Every structure is written in structure tokens, then in C-alpha cells.
């Protein structure tokens, strides 16, 4: 449970770091930046709500809720993957690209850990339903 919680919280933290980095590297007036502070707060609130669900579901040990949480975290992985491709194509920031790649790998690892079940629990489930 603590490992799943830690990985979900780490994904949230990396997302917040990415938001701050994107806001600080504004390219023009029409982009997301710290000059419009309200947009940054709204984006941070949206990301916090998005990652609150996997963090809450990390406390559960039921297999159905773990699968739901893992699939939900895969949506976060695909979001990070698209952000990574966009950052690598349109930005020259090596640090930003590195954080995007790290967030992609972290979200994928978090989803895999959430979905995986230990061998002892797998045997217990097989004995229970046989």
C-alpha cells in the first residue's frame, strides 16, 4: 500500500514540477506563464484533482479498485507521453525534456505496480475461487 501511495504521490509531484517549469519558460504572450497567475493556480488545482483519485485508491487493497486505479494512472501515462513528445518537438529545454521523460516512466511504473498482485495473493485468489 505504501509503495502504491508513494508512486502516486511522486507522479503528482512531478506533474506540479512540470507545470511550474512550463510556466516559467513562457515563449510568448499567448502561452501559459506566471504573468497570468490565475491560470497557473487553476492548472495546479486541476492536476491535484486528477491525481487525488489514484492517491485515495492507493489505500485500498481490493483487486477491482487496484485495476481501476491502474487504468486511471495509465491515462496519466498517456498524458505525460504526449507532453514528452510535444516538449521534445517544440522546446529546446533539455531539463524540461528530462523531467517529461522521467514523469512518463514514473507514471508507467506506478500503473504497473498498482495493477500487479503479489504471488501469495494470487494463490489465495485462486484457492478462493476454485
pLDDT score for 127: 60
- pLDDT digit string (tens) for the chain, length 130 residues: 788 888 888 888 988 888 888 777 766 566 667 777 788 888 889 889 988 888 888 888 787 888 888 888 888 888 888 877 877 777 777 777 788 888 888 888 888 888 886 655 656 656 665 5
Q: pTM above the 0.85 mark?
A: no
Per-residue 3-state assignment (H helix, E strand, C coil) for the chain: CHHHHHHHHHHHHHHHHHHHHHHHCCCCCCCCCCCCHHHHHHHHHHHHHHHHHHHHHCCCCCHHHHHHHHHHHHHHHHHHHHHHHHHHHHCCCHHHHHHHHHHHHHHHHHHHHHHCCCHHHHHHHHHHHC
Domain range for residue 92? 2-25+33-129
pLDDT score for 76: 82
**Structural domain tally of the chain?**
1
Amino acid at each position: 500500500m505504501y509503495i502504491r501511495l508513494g508512486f502516486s504521490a511522486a507522479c503528482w509531484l512531478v506533474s506540479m514540477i512540470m507545470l511550474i517549469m512550463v510556466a516559467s519558460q513562457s515563449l510568448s504572450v499567448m502561452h501559459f506563464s506566471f504573468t497570468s497567475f490565475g491560470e497557473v493556480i487553476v492548472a495546479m488545482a486541476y492536476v491535484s484533482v486528477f491525481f487525488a483519485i489514484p492517491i485515495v485508491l492507493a489505500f485500498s487493497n481490493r483487486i477491482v479498485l487496484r485495476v481501476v486505479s491502474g487504468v486511471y494512472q495509465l491515462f496519466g501515462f498517456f498524458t505525460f507521453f504526449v507532453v514528452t513528445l510535444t516538449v521534445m518537438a517544440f522546446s529546446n529545454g533539455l531539463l524540461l525534456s528530462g523531467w517529461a521523460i522521467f514523469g512518463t516512466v514514473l507514471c508507467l511504473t506506478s500503473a504497473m505496480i498498482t495493477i500487479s498482485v503479489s504471488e501469495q495473493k494470487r494463490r489465495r485468489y485462486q484457492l478462493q475461487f476454485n
